[in-house]
Amino acid sequence: MSFNLEQITRENIKKLTPYSSARDEFSGEAKVFLDANENSLGSPLTKWYNRYPDPHQRAIKEKLGRIKGIAPEHIFLGNGSDECIDLLFRSFCEPGKDNVVICPPTYGMYEVSANINDIAIRKAPLLEDFQLNLVHLETLVDANTKLIWLCSPNNPTGNALNRADIEMVLNNFNGIVVIDEAYINFSKQKTFIQELVDYPNLVVLQTLSKAWGLAGLRLGMAFASAGIIGILDKVKPPYNINQATQELVLKALEEVGQVNDMIRILVDMREAMAEVFRSMPTVEKVYPSDANFLLVKIKEARNIYEFLLTKGIVLRDRSNVTLCEDCLRVTIGTEKENTLLVEAMHEWYAR
Ligand SMILES: Cc1ncc(COP(=O)(O)O)c(C=O)c1O
Q: Show pLDDT as tens, one digit a residue, over the chain (351 residues).
A: 689 999 999 999 999 999 998 888 887 889 999 999 999 999 999 999 999 999 999 999 999 999 999 999 999 999 999 999 999 999 999 999 999 999 999 999 999 999 999 999 999 999 999 999 999 999 999 999 999 999 999 999 999 999 999 999 999 999 999 999 999 999 999 999 999 999 999 999 999 999 999 999 999 999 999 999 999 999 999 999 999 999 999 999 999 999 999 999 999 999 999 999 999 999 999 999 999 999 999 999 999 999 999 999 999 999 999 999 999 999 999 999 999 999 999 999 999
Distance 170 CA to ligand 1 centre (A): 22
181 lines ligand 1 (CB under 6 A): no
209 lines ligand 1 (CB under 6 A): yes
192 lines ligand 1 (CB under 6 A): no
The best mutation among 209, 290, 293 to test binding of ligand 1, ranked by most ligand atoms within 8 Å of the C-beta, falls on: 209
220 lines ligand 1 (CB under 6 A): yes
Gyration radius (Cα) of the chain, Å = 22
* pLDDT score at 23: 83
* pLDDT score at 22: 87
80 lines ligand 1 (CB under 6 A): yes
Measured distance CA(15)–CA(129) in Å, rounded: 44
Max Cα–Cα distance, the chain, nearest Å: 71
Q: Give the atom of ligand 1 at the shortest distance from the alpha carbon of 154.
A: 1
Alpha helices in the chain (DSSP H): 5-8, 11-15, 22-25, 58-68, 81-92, 109-116, 134-140, 163-172, 226-235, 243-252, 256-278, 301-310, 335-350
Find the angle CA(227)-CA(228)-CA(230) to the nearest 5 degrees: 65
249 lines ligand 1 (CB under 6 A): no
Distance 325 CA to ligand 1 centre (A): 22
DSSP 327: E
pTM of the complete model: 0.97
Distance 64 CA to ligand 1 centre (A): 18
Chain mean position to CA 339: 29
* pLDDT score at 310: 97
The best mutation among 210, 221, 292, 332 to test binding of ligand 1, ranked by most ligand atoms within 8 Å of the C-beta, falls on: 210
Residue 43, H or E segment = none
290 lines ligand 1 (CB under 6 A): no
Distance 166 CA to ligand 1 centre (A): 20
* pLDDT score at 175: 98
197 lines ligand 1 (CB under 6 A): no
Distance 38 CA to ligand 1 centre (A): 33
Q: Which residues contact 233 (CB under 8 A, 6 or more apart)?
A: 18, 56, 76
* pLDDT score at 24: 86
* pLDDT score at 156: 98
User: Which residue's CA is the nearest one to ligand 1's atom 3?
Assistant: 182
